[in-house]
Amino acid sequence: MALIDLIDVRKSFPMGDGELEVLHGIDMKVERGEFVAMMGPSGSGKSTTMNILGCLDAPTSGRYILDGQDVADLDRDELAAIRNAMIGFVFQGFNLLPRTTALANVEMPMLYAGVKAKERHVRAQEVLERMGLGDRMHHDPSQLSGGQQQRVAIARGIVNRAPILMADEPTGNLDSKTSDEIMKLFQELNEKEGITITLVTHEPDVASYAGRVVHFRDGLVTSDEPNKAKRGASA
Ligand SMILES: Nc1ncnc2c1ncn2[C@@H]1O[C@H](COP(=O)(O)OP(=O)(O)O)[C@@H](O)[C@H]1O
Ligand SMILES: [Mg+2]
C-alpha cells in the first residue's frame, strides 16, 4: 500500500457568492522511500495540493489515504496528531522564530511532541551537527546566511524523526549554488535515511534531484514520470 494516496482530490475556495474550484481531481501516489518533485507554473495548484498532503487543509471532495488511514475521517486533534507523527515541513521563507537560537528553533517541534528537555537538547544538537551547523547553534537566524537558515529549518523538519518530509519551494530564496547544497542535503536524507520526500518547485534544476517528477497545470496532474536525468549527491 502506498504511503500517500490522493484519490480524485478536488479543492474549492469560497469566491464571491460561490466557489472557485482550483484542484479538479488530483490522483497521486507516493511510495515509502520515494523523493517526488511537484512542478508546474505559478497558480497550477502545487501548494494547495501540498497543504492537503501535509494535513494542513482538507480536500473538498475525494480521498486522502495517509499510511493506510483515511485522513478525511479525522477531526482536528487527530489530524494534528497524525501530522506530528508522520510529517516534517520545510518552507520557502524558513519560518524560523526570530531572536531565537538555531538550537531553540530546532528544539521547538519536540516540545509539541512531548520530548523531555534533556533529550530535546541532545537531539537538536545532533541534527544541527549533521546539517553542518555545529558551530552555529547559538546564533539567531539574523546572524545566519540564507543557506544556513534553511539548514536550520531542515534540521527542525527532521528532528521529530517523521518518515515524511514536505517542502514547498525550499530553495526559492536562495542563490543557485546554495540551492544545490540544500538539494544535495534533501537527496542525502532520502537516500541514506530513507525519508520520503515531497517537494514543490518551479525550477527544473531543483526538481532534477528527485527520483520522480509530477507536473501540475491548471489544477490537474499532466504528467507523472521517473526522473531519468537524476542528479546524484554521491556523484
Ligand atoms: N485560500 C485560497 N483562497 C482562494 N484561492 C486560493 C487560495 N489558495 C490558493 N488559491 C488559488 O488556487 C490556485 C492554485 O494556487 P496554488 O496552489 O497556491 O498554486 P501554486 O502553488 O502552484 O503556485 C490559484 O489560482 C490561487 O489563486
Ligand atoms: Mg505555491
Please give the model's pTM, rounded to 2 decimal places. Answer: 0.94
User: Grid coordinates representing 160?
Assistant: 521529530
**Among candidate residues 149, 175, 153, the one with its CA nearest the CA of residue 165:** 153
- Is the CB of residue 58 less than 8 Å from the CB of residue 136? no
Among the residue ranges 7-16, 57-66, 226-235, the one predicted with the least confidence is 226-235
Residues with CB under 5 A from ligand 2 (ion): 47
Residue with CA at minimum distance from ligand 1 atom 4: 13
Ligand 2 midpoint to CA 50 (Å): 9
Residues 142, 149: contact at Cβ < 8 Å? no
Number of domain units in the chain:
1
Which amino acid type is present at position 103? L
State whether the beta carbon of 40 lies less than 6 angstroms from ligand 1.
yes
CA 128 / ligand 2 centre spacing (Å) = 27
Residue 233, in any domain of the structure: no
- Taking CA atoms only, the protein residue closest to ligand 1 atom 13 is 43
Residue 16 contacts residue 192 (beta carbons within 8 Å) = no
Q: Is residue 231 part of a domain?
A: no
92 alpha carbon to ligand 2 midpoint, in Å?
A: 10
Backbone φ/ψ region at 58: left (φ over 0), alpha (ψ -120 to 50), beta: beta
Rg of the chain, C-alpha, whole Å? 18
- Is the CB of residue 52 below 6 angstroms from any atom belonging to ligand 1? no
- Calculate the alpha carbon distances from 175 to 96, 102, 221 in Å: 19, 21, 29
| Nearest by Cα to 41 from 230, 199, 216 | 216
Atom of ligand 1 nearest to the CA of 200: 21
> 50 vs 114, which has greater pLDDT?
50
Q: Which domain holds residue 22?
A: 4-226
Ligand nearest the Cα of residue 41 is: 1
Residue 96 lies in a domain: yes
How many other C-beta atoms are found inside a 10 Å radius of the C-beta of residue 70? 12
32 CB contacts (<8 Å, ≥6 apart)? 3, 163, 194, 196
Q: How confident is the model at residue 149 (pLDDT cuts 50, 70, 90)?
A: very high
Residue 42 CA: nearest ligand 1 atom is 23
What would the pLDDT profile of 176-190 be if each residue is shown by its tens digit?
A: 999 999 999 999 999
pLDDT in tens, 94-105: 789 999 999 999
Ligand 1 contact via 141 beta carbon (within 6 Å): no
pLDDT greater than 70 at residue 231: yes
- What CATH number did the domain enclosing 177 receive? 3.40.50.300
Determine whether the shortest distance from the Cβ of 48 to ligand 1 is under 6 A: yes
Angstrom distance (rounded) from CA 118 to CA 53: 32
Interatomic CA distance for residues 92 and 153, integer angstroms:
10
CA–CA separation, 210 and 227 (whole Å): 7
